[in-house]
Amino acid sequence: MIIRPLGVSLLIHLLVVGVFLFLFTHDTPKKPSEPLKIQIASFIPPSTVQSPTPILPTPMPIVPPKQTPPSVQKNTPPLPPVAVVKPIPSSVPAPATSRPAPPVPQPIQPVTQPPAPKVIEAPKAPPAPPPPVVNVEKEFLNAHLGEIRGQLLQNFKYPKMAQKLKMQGEVKVSFSLSSDGSVDNVKVVESSGFEILDEDAVALINKTASTFPKPSKSVRITVPLSYVLR
């Protein structure tokens, strides 16, 4: 085809023109840069500089003073003599100049110091009330009387002889409970009317005392024990 040779020839021409331009731009010598010239102004020494001539003020014209003609004295007649009267000394002496009276010394007032401020004492707090008297026995009974009755009911047994004889009644027993859990001075406060029931109530207290709660100090306790047949 004709198009391919034409393109090759164009490519060759372009290469030749590029090589030519490259060689032309590198072969041309560059002009050397001209040196920078600096002109220095001529310096005039201070001796050659002419100082300006001072301008003197114009003198004022001198005016001579005016001369006044001498005054002509006229011949005047002399005045008559004047009699001089001398003062007659008087026998009364001249009053003496009074001297100022010396100042009267004023009494020195004593310096009184202001009274010292009164120290107001704070009101004293009222004494603390005495601690309330604690009734140990009452508190112990309120807290543990129910427990003591429960322990007595657990260990309660109806006497067989009283049961056969159909003995019934209520016994109130009083005793002292110590802090170590022991009981003493067990007494029948109110009898049931039967000796067997009263003796059984005292024996029940002594047998169950080891299970009672222990107080902080010895207390007196009274409990009722009912014997009822069912």
Domain boundaries, the chain: 136-227
CA 105 – CA 108 distance, rounded (Å): 9
Question: Angle 159-229-194 (CA atoms, 0-180°, nearest 5)?
Answer: 55
Beta bridge partners of 176: 184, 220
Per-residue pLDDT band for 43 (boundaries 50, 70, 90) equals very low
Overall fold of domain 136-227: TolA/TonB C-terminal domain (3.30.2420)
pLDDT, one tens digit per residue, over 98-146 is: 676 677 767 676 667 767 777 777 777 777 777 665 687 889 889 999 9
Q: What tens digit of pLDDT does each residue of 46-66 get?
A: 444 455 555 555 656 565 556
| Secondary structure (DSSP) of 10-61 | HHHHHHHHHHHHHHHHHHSPPPPPPPPP-PPPPPPPTTTSPPPPP-PPPPPP
17 band by pLDDT with thresholds 50, 70 and 90:
confident
Beta-ladder partners of 190: 172
- Three-class DSSP category at 173: strand
Is 205's pLDDT higher than 90?
yes
Identify the CA nearest to 177 among candidates 145, 224, 133, 134: 145
199 or 96, greater pLDDT: 199
Which pLDDT belongs to residue 42? Answer: 47
Q: What is the pTM of this model?
A: 0.43
pLDDT at 12: 87
Q: Is the dihedral of CA 158, 161, 166, 170 positive or negative?
A: negative
Using the predicted structure, report yes or no on whether residue 96 has a pLDDT greater than 60: no
